[in-house]
Structure 1
Amino acid sequence: MEERRAIIVTIGNELLSGEVENTNATWLARELYALGVLVHQILTLPDEIAVIVRMLQPLRTEYDYVLISGGVGPTPDDVTRPALARLLGVPLEPHPDALALLQARFQGSSNAAVLAMADLPRGALVKIDSHLLFPGFILENLYVLPGVPRIMQRIFALLRDRLRTRPFLTCSLHTTQKETAFAHLLVELSRRFPSVQVGSYPTTSEGEYQVRIVLKSKEPQSLQQAKSWLETRMQP
Structure 2
Amino acid sequence: MTTPRIGLMIIGDEILSSKRQDKHLAQANELLKPRGLAVSWVKILGDEPSLLQENLQQSFAQAQAQTDIVFCFGGIGATPDDRTRQCAAQALKLPLVRHPEAVAEIEAQFGEAAYPQRIHMAEYPAGAAIIPNFYNRVPGFSIEHHHFMPGFPMMAKPMMEWVLNTYYAHLTQSPTIEKAIRLIDGQESEWVEFMEQFEVEFPTLRLFSLPSIDADHKRTIDLGVEGLEEQAVAGYKKLVAEAQRRGCQWQALL
Q: TM-score, normalised by structure 2?
A: 0.81
Of 132-141 and 65-74, more deviation after overlay is shown by 132-141
> Hey, what does 1:193 align to over in structure 2?
202
One-letter amino acid of the counterpart of residue 215, structure 1: V
> Hey, what does 2:179 align to over in structure 1?
172
> Hey, what does 1:226 align to over in structure 2?
235
Of 10-19 and 166-175, more deviation after overlay is shown by 166-175
Query: Structure 1: where are the runs of 5+ without partners?
Result: none
One-letter amino acid of the counterpart of residue 79, structure 1: R
Matches within 5 A, 1:1-236: 3-63=3-63, 64-161=68-165, 162-163=167-168, 164-177=171-184, 178-180=186-188, 181-202=190-211, 211-218=221-228, 220-235=229-244
SS at match of 1:93: strand
- In structure 1, how many angstroms separate the alpha carbons of the residues matched to 2:75 and 2:21? 15
- In structure 1, how many angstroms separate the alpha carbons of the residues matched to 2:238 and 2:214? 28
- In structure 2, how many angstroms separate the alpha carbons of the residues matched to 1:226 and 1:61? 38
**Preserved contact between residue 7 and residue 39 of structure 1 (Cα < 8 Å):** yes
- In structure 1, how many angstroms separate the alpha carbons of the residues matched to 2:210 and 2:74? 31
Q: CA deviation at 1:76?
A: 0.4
SS at match of 2:15: helix
**Preserved contact between residue 66 and residue 142 of structure 1 (Cα < 8 Å):** yes
**Preserved contact between residue 179 and residue 232 of structure 2 (Cα < 8 Å):** no
One-letter amino acid of the counterpart of residue 199, structure 1: F
**Preserved contact between residue 70 and residue 145 of structure 1 (Cα < 8 Å):** yes
Taking a change above 3 Å as real, the CA distance of residues 4 and 36 of structure 1, as seen in their structure-2 partners, is: farther
Q: CA deviation at 1:125?
A: 1.3
Of 202-211 and 122-131, more deviation after overlay is shown by 202-211
**Preserved contact between residue 9 and residue 69 of structure 1 (Cα < 8 Å):** yes
One-letter amino acid of the counterpart of residue 223, structure 2: I
**Preserved contact between residue 8 and residue 29 of structure 1 (Cα < 8 Å):** no
SS at match of 1:123: coil
Q: TM-score, normalised by structure 1?
A: 0.86
SS at match of 2:242: coil
Q: CA deviation at 1:53?
A: 1.8
- In structure 2, how many angstroms separate the alpha carbons of the residues matched to 1:97 and 1:125? 9
SS at match of 1:176: strand
Q: CA deviation at 1:83?
A: 0.8
Q: Identity of counterpart residues, as a percentage?
A: 23
Matched residues, number = 235
Provide Cα deviations, 1:75-118, integer angstroms capped at 9, x if missing partner: 00111111111111211111111111110111222222100100
Of 114-123 and 45-54, more deviation after overlay is shown by 45-54
- In structure 2, how many angstroms separate the alpha carbons of the residues matched to 1:167 and 1:53? 36
One-letter amino acid of the counterpart of residue 97, structure 1: E
**Preserved contact between residue 16 and residue 46 of structure 1 (Cα < 8 Å):** yes
Of 84-93 and 20-29, more deviation after overlay is shown by 20-29
Of 24-33 and 96-105, more deviation after overlay is shown by 24-33
One-letter amino acid of the counterpart of residue 51, structure 1: L
One-letter amino acid of the counterpart of residue 224, structure 2: V
- In structure 1, how many angstroms separate the alpha carbons of the residues matched to 2:49 and 2:32? 27
